[in-house]
């Protein structure tokens, strides 16, 4: 009936303690906090000089503390640095559509390839199949997610004016690009923030701390993307919940379906906000 229990990756080096029993210390926590805060500076406050400086300093400290910590935080840092080379503010013009897409792909591929080809391990994994059936609670949650989105998202986008951070769609081609873009970014979120950042942080820290650190990066990225005003009150719980669910299920497929169901409502809500009266099934118009 409940959520399935997740497992620590099988290839966790024996030199590392099991994270649930690991004693936390400032020397290990501060570099990880610095990496997460660098994302806040880069994406949330949009301060590239300060953000990149904090990122480099934090990675240097991580390598000084522990080779394994340095390796894992460097993979996260590489992804963050790659994303920071371009603005990720929502844009459906062809040049930005492909630029953002390529940058985000590189941000996932580079850490994964370095992990496999340079570090010679498989710390970053994308567990599409777990062999476990979804429980009744998990199936019910798949229904609850779009329902909650239907209740909350139109009110958020319209009352805060945040929908203006997304482009006004004028033709079918732009609408198609917008739909693809929303789903592509939603998929990328799970590949990078959960399967990369959270999984690597989980090798060194308890679930609660690793989840807070990945959520800081996650929410900072979503702020630049367009979820501003009081958006973090929605995106922070969502990011934390995705990390927690992934810990319990161990299934990328499940958390991705949850995310994409939510993003369908995001797409419809933004189109509705730009075109009042077009969709009559939302409570806020």
236 belongs to a structural domain: yes
205 belongs to a structural domain: yes
| Closest C-alpha to 84, from 33, 41, 31 | 41
85 belongs to a structural domain: yes
pTM for the whole structure: 0.92
80 belongs to a structural domain: yes
285 belongs to a structural domain: no
279 belongs to a structural domain: no
11 belongs to a structural domain: no
* DSSP state at residue 162: G
Pinpoint the alpha helices (H) of the chain. 26-39, 48-65, 67-83, 94-113, 136-160, 172-189, 199-202, 207-225, 232-249, 252-274
Give ∠ CA 166-171-175 in degrees, rounded to 5: 50
4 belongs to a structural domain: no
* DSSP state at residue 117: I
Euclidean distance between CA atoms 284 and 154, whole angstroms? 6
Tens digits of pLDDT across the chain (285 residues): 566 554 444 343 333 344 444 468 999 999 999 999 999 999 999 999 999 999 999 999 999 999 999 999 999 999 999 999 999 999 999 999 999 999 999 999 999 999 999 999 999 999 998 878 889 999 999 999 999 999 999 999 999 999 999 999 888 999 999 999 999 999 999 999 999 999 999 999 999 999 999 999 999 999 999 999 999 999 999 999 999 999 999 999 999 999 999 999 999 999 999 998 778 889 887
The number of distinct structural domains making up the chain is 1
Range of the domain at 62: 19-274
* pLDDT averaged over every residue in the chain: 92
Cα 268 from chain centre: 21
């Amino acid at each position: 009936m409940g959520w399935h229990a997740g497992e620590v990756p099988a290839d966790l080096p024996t030199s590392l303690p099991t994270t649930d029993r690991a004693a936390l210390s400032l020397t290990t926590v501060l570099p990880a906090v610095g990496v997460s805060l660098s994302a806040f500076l880069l994406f949330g406050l949009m301060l590239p000089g300060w953000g990149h400086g904090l990122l480099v300093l934090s990675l240097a400290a991580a390598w000084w503390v522990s080779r394994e910590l340095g390796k894992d935080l460097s993979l996260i840092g590489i992804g963050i640095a790659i994303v920071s080379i371009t603005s990720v503010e929502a844009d459906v013009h062809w040049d930005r559509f492909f630029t953002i897409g390529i940058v985000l792909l590189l941000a996932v591929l580079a850490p994964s390839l370095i992990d496999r080809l340079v570090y010679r391990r498989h710390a970053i994994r994308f567990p599409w199949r777990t062999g476990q059936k979804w429980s009744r609670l998990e199936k019910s949650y798949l229904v609850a997610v779009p329902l909650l989105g239907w209740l909350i998202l139109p009110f958020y986008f319209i009352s805060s004016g945040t929908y203006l951070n997304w482009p006004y769609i004028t033709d079918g081609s732009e609408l198609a690009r917008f739909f693809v873009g929303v789903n592509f970014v939603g998929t990328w979120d799970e590949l990078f923030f959960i399967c990369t950042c959270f999984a690597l942080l989980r090798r060194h820290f308890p679930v609660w701390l690793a989840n807070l650190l990945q959520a800081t990066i996650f929410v900072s990225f979503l702020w630049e993307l367009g979820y501003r005003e009081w958006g973090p009150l929605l995106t922070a719980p969502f990011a934390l919940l995705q990390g927690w669910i992934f810990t319990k299920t161990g299934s990328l497929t499940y958390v991705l379906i949850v995310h994409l169901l939510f993003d369908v409502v995001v797409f419809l809500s933004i189109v509705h906000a730009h075109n009042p009266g077009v969709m009559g099934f939302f409570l806020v118009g």
